[in-house]
Amino acid sequence: MAETKVLYTLGGKSYEGMLVYDDGVKGKRPAVFMQPDWKGVCADTIGQAREVAGKDYVVLMADMYGVGYGDKPKTREQLGASMQAVHNDLPFTLACGAMALDTLLAAANQNGLVDTGKIAGIGYCAGGGFVLEQARAAANLNPVIVFHVTNPNPVAPGTPCNIKGRVLAIHGSADPVTPKPMMDAFEAELTGAKVDWQVMMFGGAVHSFCDPTANTPATRYDEKLCRKSYAMMRDFFAETWGRA
């Protein structure tokens, strides 16, 4: 697997996203724009990107925190503070997310890697909230898939929902971070905007079931559910883009 760092700047600060793909595969593949969880670009989330990419996709991995953020371990308090700083600043979330998407896509295009007619967005936990805000702002992402999303509802209440494509949310029924009322409101928002949406709810699952490092009562990895999630993701891609 190739892991190519891509630098971009915003407001005088440098960010470093990454392209992750199998460099043994020839020809163009769909692009999957990935907003990782609150750890940002680090060994753990790069591992997730490699699993998503496989031989079929080029993953465009966004950095929302700055160069080197994921290099050092952090406490949950530190991770939460950094995530909230991004989440609470919607103009920054949209600007940095758009910069990441445009820059990573341009880098992939330079190498002739991607089919620009097929660009999906995915997000884990906090990254799911970020990619949904981008989608609401009409980012060119279709479909959008979020895994155990944190903050599924607009940070600014009443934000117009201008999602262009289909949406799939894969979630746990016992998630204490994003409980059912938040998902109910998310579903109502999508329905009101006439978005083609689906929610897959895993009975009894908590938060972070696709994060191999999660091991607390509230956040717990589940290898079987993660495998199912990725199978659903690939099937949703195929449905959206056509199976041919």
Quote the pLDDT of residue 33: 98
User: How far is Cα 197 from Cα 187, in angstroms, rounded to an integer?
Assistant: 8
Encode pLDDT of 25-48 as tens digits.
999 999 999 999 999 999 999 999
pTM, to two decimals: 0.97
Quote the pLDDT of residue 243: 61
Closest C-alpha to 226, from 239, 208, 240: 208
Closest C-alpha to 59, from 88, 34, 40: 34
Max Cα-Cα span within the chain: 46
Strand order in the sheet with 114-124: 2-10, 13-21, 58-61, 29-35, 114-124, 144-147, 167-172, 197-202
Quote the pLDDT of residue 164: 94
Quote the pLDDT of residue 244: 44
Per-residue exposure over 77-108, b if at least 16 CB sit within 10 Å of its own CB, e if not: eebeebbeebbeebeebbebbbbbbebbbebb
Residue with tokens 């980012």: 139
Q: Which residues pair with 121 in a beta bridge?
A: 33, 144
Quote the pLDDT of residue 125: 98
Positions of the chain with pLDDT lower than 70, given as ranges: 243-244
Q: Which domains, from first to last, does the chain contain?
A: 2-241 (3.40.50.1820)
Reduced to 3 states (helix: H, G, I; strand: E, B; else coil), residue 242 is coil
Reduced to 3 states (helix: H, G, I; strand: E, B; else coil), residue 204 is coil
